[in-house]
Each structure stands twice: as C-alpha cells, then as structure tokens.
Structure 1
C-alpha cells in the first residue's frame, strides 16, 4: 500500500513532508484570528454594587467571563455585592476576557478592639480606620488633656481593649474638652459615700483623682470619704476654687467621720 512512498527517494519524501508542514501552518494561522476572535473587542460594563448573580449575568451577556477573585467586608453595601472589578468599567478588551470580581462578605469578620485611651482624637480615628472600625458619637468631657480619648464605649458601655467586635462597628469616644475657664468652690465630700461623691464629681464636671482606701474597707462604693484634697476651705477659711476638668483626691474609710460642727454662728443683726 505504501510502496509508492518507500520506493521514492528520501529527498522526495523530505520535500513532501516540508510542503505538508507549510500547508498545515498556513491553514492554522489563517484560522487563528477566527479561533481567538482577534480584533473583536468589547467595552467592560460597570457591575460594581450589583449582586453577584446579577453581575455575572450582565458580564456573560456582554461576552465576558466572570470569576470571584477576592472578598472584603464593607458595611455600607449589601452582602455578596460587587465591591471592585478588574479590568474596571469602560476598559476596552477582547471578547471572552475574564473579569475578576471582589465581593462583599456576608458576615463581618471579628477584630480585637484597640486601646484608644490616652490617644489624641486624630490618632484614635486613624487606628480605628486601620482596624476597619468607625468613629461613632464623640462626647466631650472637661479634663486637662485637651482632645484626647478618655473612654471608649459601645452601646453606652465601656469597651475594653482586646474585646472582639465586628468590622464596621461604630465606637463612641469620650474626649477631653480641656479645663474650664470658670472657677467654682470645691464641693464638700466629707461624710459622703464614695458612690455619692462620684455622682457629685460628675455633676460638677470634676474628675476623680487618687483614691486612697483604708485596709478596713470591704465595700468601696459604700465607704465614707473622711479626707479630700483639695479641701473645701483653706487655712484662713476661704473656699478653695477649682475649674471643670480638674481632679479631687479622696480618702475612704469604713467608718463615717464626724464632721466639725463648731463653726462660728452668723452675727445677729440689730433691730
């Protein structure tokens, strides 16, 4: 059957093989533009913000393929919505090009709450942003360190550093407004319980300084203030003055002190 091949010279067979190779090459490169759809281009549609199923359908209808490449968590868009696409909208690319999508996660990842107390508001804001957390309400309270974070809250309660919270959570910050300009007499805390003294300090926009507790005290909240600094009055009987944001040191005892009742009576008026 193959006698006509085997009986021909090697040179003839070689030339035939070369001719066949070139023929196949010509056919292949002629069909290559058709296979690869060379020259067929399409503008990438905008699918940002769409649900994943809608985005895939829109891309396939335009002649593209879609593939989820990554996921993030953004609290301002719905779960499984497209956050980013590559190539971006408006890019002119080949038909059948794969468009890579970044979608929003369905559940917010948990992150450890940082310790913001003592930081400036700007530093605290940057740290929250780096942890994908948000600044919620800002409440100002008199204190000597102006515009620093005094406390961090979540739902009205103190939020300790290290507590796990969802990304996108809004954190309330208590900030220092600095000391006030108006001076007022130091309140008298002697004989009050520690809980009562704290309420008065808060109402007076004053801070609790050092709290020195006697060893006999077992219930701090109901312990009695027997000494304070600054005192209500100075050595000559004048009121000591404080400004909003300043601190008062309290000394606590289990026994209620006896207050001095020997203050001179007011002079009688002549009729």
Structure 2
C-alpha cells in the first residue's frame, strides 16, 4: 500500500466519524451514571423530620407525606390522658436530617390498654394464673376444661383464638383459660405387661402341676386315688404306754 493511500484512509470522514461517535457515547454514559445515581439516591437533598407527636394519625400522615417522607405504624401504646389514635412516639426523632423518601415509624395511642400475657401457659395452676391475670387488669371468663392434669393451665383463648405467652392483649377482651379436667381421654390406653404372668403360668403348668384323672395336683403332692376305699396301715402301740 502506498503512503498516500494509507494517509487518505486514516483521515477519512468515516473513521473519524465513528471515533467521535464512540467518544460521545462514552461521555453520555458517564454523565448519565453520575447524575442518575444522584437523582436515584436523592444526593444533596435534606429534609428535617417534623414533630408530629400528640397529633392525630391522619394529621401526622398528611404532614410527613407532604414533606416527602413515608409513614409506617410500628406499634401501639396506651396513655389514658391522651386521645385514641394520637401519636405517642416517632422514629427518627424530630429535627433529624434525612433524605427524601425516608420511612418514619410511628407509635399510635390505642383506645384501650394492651398488656403482654404473662408466662402462665403450661407453667401455672389455674388458681395462680387467674389471680395473676386479674391483678394485672385482665378480664377472665369461665374456664374451658380439656383433657389433662387437673387444674393445670394448657392454654389461653381470646375471641376464639389461641394466645401465646408475651402476646399483647386488650384489657377489655375476656380471656378464657384452658384447664386440665383430670380425666383420661377415651383414646388413652393403660398398658399392662403380661410377660410376668405368662412366664409363671407356663412354669406352673410345666413344672409344678399335672392332671391326674381330672384332678389337678401341685408341687410334689401324690396323686389322690379316685373311687374305692382308702387303705390304712395298722400302727401298734407299745405296752409301756
């Protein structure tokens, strides 16, 4: 190839056009990644968490969403002096700086107190469990008897659902304690080991008894004569007596 032809191809518009196009694509990708990442992560945005404590849930939700934040209820509590549906706590705390879209967790005041069920299931007698629940402020209904050890607590029900130790329950709900009735279920069988009796019966039949003319004789006893007259041996008495 001649030198003139080589330089002509090197400086052709086709080659330089493709080269500039590649550079432009790389530059656009870099710029898009730079600013797109900032847009996705809300880089540079700063939102101060507003104070929504002691406000109603509807008002708190409206304020937080207008500020660009998300709202989620994390728990409920009870303070008698505050109205129901009132915000008791919020996380993050008011005044914290966060990015747009951050989740704010709220604790809402309930209309009745909710207490944790004490550790009474399969761990207490009926009398002790009932006394403990009443002392805590729970309402206790008539017990439900189930098969099991007498007066032992096997479960607690509320509104037809089984509860677990530590579960939070409203003090206005009636608790039903499941108590053992001391009775054995129909499907419970008493197992008896007959091997001892079977062994002794076999031993008795083989070694200690036999049948003679329809009569059973035991041990070393001699056969008893059947029918006829028993024979007696005459015994002489000494003259000295």
Could you say whether these structures have the same fold, taking a TM-score greater than 0.5 normalized by the shorter chain as the test?
no
| TM-score bracket for the superposition, by shorter chain length | 0.3 to 0.5
Which structure's residues are more often strand, by fraction?
A: 1
Which is greater in Rg? Answer: 2
TM-score when scaled to structure 2? 0.38
Which structure's residues are more often helix, by fraction?
A: 2
TM-score when scaled to structure 1? 0.34
